[in-house]
Every structure is written in structure tokens, then in C-alpha cells.
């Protein structure tokens, strides 16, 4: 579904990703793990078109994404939930959702609201509340809901569990599994390696912009090196 | 005696509406682009020159106003697309210089093309009307009515349309909006168009009070900036109310102390900011993590 070959990318003159190969098949949850500064967010930003690839190719369902802008990439069904949520604090919950569904017309929009509210009933209750007044957990729900608004086929998630209490982290990961059960494909960037490996099919481990390791999550979770370096045991 | 004050207040509202309209343009651009637009006033001056020559061609006045608004919209769009967009994600200080430079360029071009001597510019409506004890120029009434309509439509755009809600989203989080696939550049272009269209309209409405010359908008620009800051720099409503307030207070001050009129607005800004650092309507954004 998503195929990344020999991707090089970075900011201005700073090369962050050095020749990355990665693929995501339909219906999978694929994790990208690694410590701070490994290039995880850079990878997602490049897929989303916020950063332009320097070299290499990003293809999604056979189409080359390299030269598309973020708007077109969202239209193709690749949607990112960015790190730190980026909720609009002064916009209502519904307005936050509206902007995520910007590409739709009126009729389709109201369908999307219904579908997202079915997934997250709490947001329906808070529809008219300002985004900035939601609790951290609710904000993350809103961020995920915004990810669903444009009807994605591939969801890119950047650290969805960041800064949340353990109980909420569990809730978020449960939600991701629900997404998968409903047919969504997910590329998940996480620092919480253990939880990510538990729910994903496969995983890639990035270290300073290089691909250090890849494999089935079930294999990686018992790998001695992975345990030592990323699982803290 | 009291009647004089009513008239002063009414005239002040008209002046204040002009400040408010200009301040709204400044705030719209500041919020969505994080740029102080120094050229807001002079863009209007330049468009007013165009209007002057269109009027000289015997085109009907209302049509000329409409054409000026359209010219402003096109000008704003071009400025965004060719001057602001290429620099915006690269240099913040560069953007500040661009709008300042633009203000100078408009002034220089106007003096060069149209000659710098003052010209008389007739208002659309010449007479005055008496409403009870208040005597007010018809043009002043027109200004108040038009600005009320414009304010209402801006409010509708910002709160009821996708573009407007998008603009508010961009104002809060440019990156967040971009990641979601909101067409941030298109919306930014529309905001510049609206702002410059407003400046063109303001120029034509206010120029009959002065004379048409390359820097007649300078005092308006300064007062509008004061109003924008007084209003908290973050809301169209704040800009409008602060503009009206400034216009009224200034008019009363000018009646008693004519020489203080020009410096008054800046003094008021300093005093208000001493006590309310975020302006009259500025609110700290509420955020919970």
C-alpha cells in the first residue's frame, strides 16, 4: 500500500533521514520506533508532504507522492495526526473536525461528523466546547477523530500516547486496534516501544536516521537487543 | 452644550469606523500570517489614486468604489502570492521589511506617477443631515452604515464559512492546519485580498476629509495600529470596538485641545497597555495539557 524506497530527507541543509526503505501493507499496523532525534517525525512529515523528499520515492497505492503538497496527499487518503496534537484551542470541537474534513462538501461533511461521533461519543457531547478547554485525554481523542474525518485509508500517527496517563495510553491503543478492525491501515510512530510492539504487526527501528532493525513485532519484542535498548529491560 | 458632544460623538464614530476598518485589515493579516502589515494604509492611498482617475473618466461614483474594492482584492492577492509566500517560511524579519518596503514603494510610486501635489477629492455624498440635535455629514453616515455591514459580513465569514473557520485555525496553529490538509496558502491569499480591499474602500471614503496626496493615509495607519493594539491584536471585534472608541475620544479631545489630536491615540495606547498588557479585548489563549 505504502512503499518508501531509498528515501533521503531533512530540513533546509540538514539531512536527517539517510536512505530509508519501508513498506506498509493494507490492514497492518506498522510501528516505527527509535529514540528522540532518530528521524521518526521527519519521516512522517516527509510522507505528508510538509517536507519534500531529497531523494528516493514514496508511492501510495501505485501513485508517486513525492511532488504532491499536503492538501493533495490528504485527498489521496494519507492523513497524519501530528505529534503534540495541534488542537486549535480557540475553535470548537466541531470546528476542529470541520477543518480536518476541509475537502468535503456539506452533505458528506455531516456524514463524516456522524461517523466520527459514533466512534467518539464524548466529542458529540463536547461539540460546542472550545478545543483548548478539553482535558488531555479528550484532546487526544479529538486529534484521532480529526485523523478520521478525511476518511483516510492510511493513518500516520506521531506519538499518540505522548504525555498521557497510563490509563489513557491504554485507551488510545485500544482505539487504534478498533481503527484497524474497521479496516484502517496505520503507520505508528512511538516512543512507548512496548505498547507499540504489542499492537503492531511489524516494526522498524530507526537510529540517527538509519534503519537499524526491522521485523515482525512478535519477534522484535523478544529480541535481546531490542529489549536492552528500547524496552528498558 | 450637551448637543455639541452628541455631534462630536457621532462624528467620532464615523472617524472611528475608518480606524476600525483599517485595524481589522491589520489584525486579519497579523493573526493569519503573524506579520505587521505596514502597507495597509498606503495600499488604500494607491488605490484611491486609481479611483481618482477613474472618476475623472466620468465613471459613476458607486461603480468606482466597487472597482477600487476589486482592485484592492487583486492587489492583496498579488502581494501575498509573489512577495509574502516565497519568504514566509524562511524569514520572519524579512516579512516585516517587505510590508514596510511596500508602504514606501506605494508612496514613491504614487508621487512619481501621479505627482505629489494635493488634489481635491469629492465625497460621494455632499450634504449633511440633522438627526435630532446631531448634525452629521451624509458621507459620515455612509461610513458608519457601510462599516457596520462590512463588520457583520466579516463576522459571518469568520464564524460561518469554511474559509473563515480555516483562517481562525491558521491564526492559532499554521502547522496544525497545514498537516490537516487545510489549504493554508489559499486562505492566506484570500485574507490579504480582503484586507487590501478594505484599505481601498477606506481610502476612498476618508480622502475627501483631507486631500489626495501620497501620504494622506499615514495618520489613519498610525491610528489603526493604535486601535489594533488597543483591541488586543487578536480579534476583529476588538479592532472594531477599539477603533470606534479611539475615534470618539480623539474627536472630543481635539475639540478641547486641538494640538493634542495626533499624539492622543499613542498616549492612550501606552496608558491602556500599562494596565492591560494584552489590550482591551486581548485574552490569553486557554490551553490545557
Which residues of A are less than 8 Å from B176 in CB distance?
A: 82, 86-88
Question: Which pLDDT does position B190 carry in this prediction?
Answer: 97
Is 70 exceeded by the pLDDT of residue B268? yes
A94 in any annotated domain:
no
In a domain, B283, yes or no: no
As a whole number of angstroms, the distance between CA B140 and CA B10 comes to: 9
Alpha-carbon gap, residue B76 to B35, rounded angstroms: 14
Q: Least CB-CB distance to B179: which of A50, A130, A133?
A: A50
| pLDDT tens track for B73-120 | 999 999 999 999 998 877 878 888 999 999 999 999 999 999 999 999
DSSP letters spanning B121-150: ---S---EEEETTEEEEHHHHHHHHHHHHH
Q: A88 and B178: CB-CB below 8 Å?
A: no
The 10s digit of each residue's pLDDT in B206-259 is: 999 999 999 999 999 999 999 999 998 888 999 999 999 999 999 999 999 988
Give me the pLDDT at residue A35, please: 85
- The CA radius of gyration of chain A, in Å to the nearest whole number, is 17
In a domain, B203, yes or no: yes
Quick one: pLDDT at residue B214? 95
Interchain pair A89, B168: CB under 8 A: no
* List of chain A residues whose C-beta atoms are within 8 Å of the C-beta of residue B175: 50, 82, 86
**d(C-alpha B28, C-alpha A217), whole Å:** 49
Residue A73 lies in a domain: yes
Give domain status of residue B150, yes or no: yes
- Check residue B90 and give its pLDDT: 79
Domain CATH for A168? 3.40.50.300
Q: What is the percent of chain B where pLDDT is above 90?
A: 79
Is residue B228 within 8 Å of B121, Cβ to Cβ? no
Residue B204 has pLDDT above 70, yes or no: yes
CATH number of the domain enclosing B160: 1.10.3470
Q: CB distance B288–A99 less than 8 Å? A: no
Element (H, E) at A3: strand A2-11
Q: For cell 503534540, name the residue.
A: A84
Residues from chain A that touch B288, judged by Cβ atoms under 8 A, are 132-136, 139
SS3 A36: coil
Domain that holds residue A213: 2-87+141-230
Whether residue A58 lies inside any domain: the answer is yes
Q: Do A98 and B165 touch (CB under 8 A)?
A: yes
Chain B residues with CB inside 8 Å of A86's CB? 173, 175-176, 179
Tell me, yes or no, whether B134 lies in a domain.
Answer: no
Q: Is residue B84 part of a domain?
A: yes
Q: Record the cell numbers describing residue B149, joined without a space.
A: 455591514
Range of the domain at B181: 2-116+142-275
Q: Is residue B132 part of a domain?
A: no
- Does A122 reside within a domain? no
Mutation target to probe the B interface, by most B beta carbons within 10 A, among A52, A102, A131, A140 is A102
Q: What is the model's pLDDT at position B280?
A: 83
Q: Which residues of B touch A89 (CB under 8 A)?
A: 172, 285-287
Quick check: helix, strand or coil at residue A229? Answer: helix
ipTM of the complex in this document: 0.92
User: For chain A, how many structural domains are there in total?
Assistant: 1
Of B179, B183, B285, the CB nearest to A90: B285
Domain count, chain B: 1
- Any residues with CB less than 8 A from the CB of B175 and at least 6 apart, and which? A50, A82, A86
The beta-carbon neighbor of A102 closest among B181, B287, B289 is B181
Do residues A153 and A1 make contact, with C-beta atoms less than 8 angstroms apart? yes
Is residue A77 within 8 Å of residue A154, measured between CB atoms? Answer: yes
Q: What is the mean pLDDT of residues B175-202?
A: 96
pLDDT exceeds 50 at position B287: no
Strand pairing of A78-81 and A14-24? unpaired
Greatest Cα pair distance in chain B: 62
Shortest distance, CA A228 to any CA of chain B (angstroms) = 31
Residue B126 lies in a domain: no
Q: Given an 8 Å threshold on Cβ–Cβ distance, is A71 in contact with B176?
A: no
CA-based torsion, A193, A194, A200, A205: positive or negative: positive
Provide the grid cell at A161: 500516547
Interface test with B, best of A78, A90, A98 (most B CBs within 10 A): A90
A75 to chain B, closest Cα gap in Å:
8
DSSP A26: T
> pLDDT value at position A53?
96
Chain A residue closest to B286 (CA)? A132
| Cα–Cα distance for residue pair B18/B198, rounded to 1 Å | 10
Whether residue A90 and residue B168 make contact (CB cut-off 8 A), yes or no, is yes
Position B286 confidence tier, pLDDT thresholds 50, 70, 90: very low
Quick check: is A123 in a domain?
no
CB nearest A82 (choices: B169, B179, B182): B179
Check residue B283 and give its pLDDT. Answer: 65
- Which residues have CB under 8 Å from B123's CB, separation 6+? B137, B139, B208
Q: Which residue has the cell 493615509?
A: B217
pLDDT for B284 beyond 80: no
The segments of chain A whose pLDDT lies below 50 read: none
Rounded to whole angstroms, how far apart are CA atoms B262 and B264? 6
Is the dihedral angle over the CA atoms B15, B20, B23, B28 positive or is it negative?
Answer: negative
Amino acid at each position: 500500500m505504502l512503499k518508501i524506497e531509498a528515501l533521503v530527507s531533512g530540513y533546509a541543509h540538514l539531512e536527517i533521514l539517510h536512505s530509508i526503505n519501508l513498506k506498509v501493507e493494507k490492514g497492518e499496523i506498522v510501528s516505527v520506533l527509535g529514540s528522540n532525534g532518530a528521524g521518526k517525525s521527519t519521516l512522517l512529515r516527509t510522507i505528508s508532504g510538509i517536507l519534500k523528499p531529497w531523494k528516493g520515492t514514496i508511492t501510495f497505492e501505485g501513485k508517486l507522492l513525492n511532488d504532491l503538497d499536503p492538501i493533495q496527499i490528504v485527498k489521496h487518503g494519507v492523513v497524519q495526526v501530528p505529534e503534540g496534537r495541534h488542537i486549535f484551542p480557540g475553535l470548537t470541537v466541531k470546528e476542529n473536525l470541520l477543518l480536518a474534513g476541509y475537502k468535503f462538501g456539506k452533505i458528506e461533511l455531516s456524514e463524516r461528523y456522524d461517523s466520527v461521533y459514533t466512534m467518539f461519543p464524548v466529542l458529540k457531547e463536547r461539540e460546542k466546547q472550545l478545543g483548548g478547554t478539553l482535558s488531555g485525554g479528550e484532546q487526544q481523542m479529538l486529534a484521532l477523530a480529526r485523523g478520521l474525518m478525511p476518511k483516510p485509508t492510511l493513518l500516520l500517527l506521531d506519538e499518540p500516547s505522548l504525555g498521557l496517563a497510563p490509563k489513557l495510553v491504554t485507551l488510545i491503543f485500544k482505539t487504534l486496534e478498533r481503527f484497524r478492525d474497521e479496516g484502517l491501515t496505520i503507520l505508528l510512530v512511538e516512543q512507548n516501544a512496548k505498547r507499540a510492539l504489542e499492537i503492531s504487526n511489524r516494526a522498524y527501528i530507526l537510529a540517527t536516521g538509519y534503519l537499524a532493525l526491522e521485523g515482525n513485532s512478535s519477534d522484535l519484542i523478544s529480541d535481546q537487543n531490542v529489549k536492552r535498548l528500547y524496552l528498558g529491560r | 452644550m450637551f448637543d455639541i458632544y452628541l455631534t462630536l460623538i457621532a462624528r467620532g464614530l464615523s472617524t472611528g469606523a475608518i480606524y476600525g476598518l483599517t485595524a481589522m485589515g491589520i489584525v486579519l493579516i497579523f493573526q493569519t500570517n503573524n506579520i505587521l502589515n505596514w502597507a495597509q494604509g498606503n495600499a488604500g492611498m494607491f488605490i484611491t489614486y486609481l479611483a481618482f482617475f477613474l472618476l475623472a473618466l466620468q465613471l459613476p461614483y458607486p461603480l468606482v468604489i466597487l472597482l477600487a474594492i476589486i482592485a484592492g482584492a487583486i492587489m492583496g492577492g498579488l502581494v501575498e502570492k509573489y512577495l509574502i509566500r516565497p519568504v514566509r517560511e524562511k524569514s520572519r524579519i524579512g516579512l516585516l521589511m517587505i510590508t514596510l518596503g511596500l508602504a514606501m514603494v506605494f508612496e514613491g510610486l504614487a508621487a512619481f506617477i501621479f505627482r505629489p501635489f494635493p488634489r481635491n477629492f469629492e465625497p460621494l455624498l455632499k450634504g449633511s443631515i440633522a438627526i435630532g440635535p446631531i448634525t452629521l455629514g451624509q458621507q459620515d453616515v455612509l461610513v458608519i452604515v457601510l462599516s457596520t455591514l462590512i463588520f457583520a459580513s466579516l463576522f459571518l465569514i469568520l464564524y460561518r464559512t469554511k474559509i473563515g473557520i480555516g483562517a481562525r485555525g491558521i491564526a492559532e496553529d499554521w502547522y496544525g492546519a497545514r498537516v490537516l490538509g487545510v489549504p493554508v496558502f489559499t486562505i492566506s491569499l484570500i485574507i490579504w485580498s480582503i484586507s487590501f480591499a478594505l484599505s481601498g474602500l477606506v481610502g476612498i471614503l476618508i480622502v475627501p476629509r483631507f486631500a489626495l496626496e501620497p501620504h494622506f493615509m499615514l495618520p489613519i495607519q498610525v491610528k489603526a495600529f493604535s486601535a489594533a493594539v488597543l483591541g488586543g491584536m487578536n480579534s476583529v471585534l476588538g479592532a472594531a470596538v477599539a477603533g470606534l472608541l479611539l475615534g470618539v475620544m480623539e474627536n472630543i479631545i481635539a475639540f478641547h485641545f486641538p494640538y493634542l489630536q495626533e499624539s492622543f491615540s499613542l498616549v492612550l495606547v501606552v496608558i491602556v497597555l500599562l494596565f492591560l498588557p494584552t489590550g482591551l479585548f486581548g485574552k490569553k489563549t486557554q490551553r490545557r495539557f
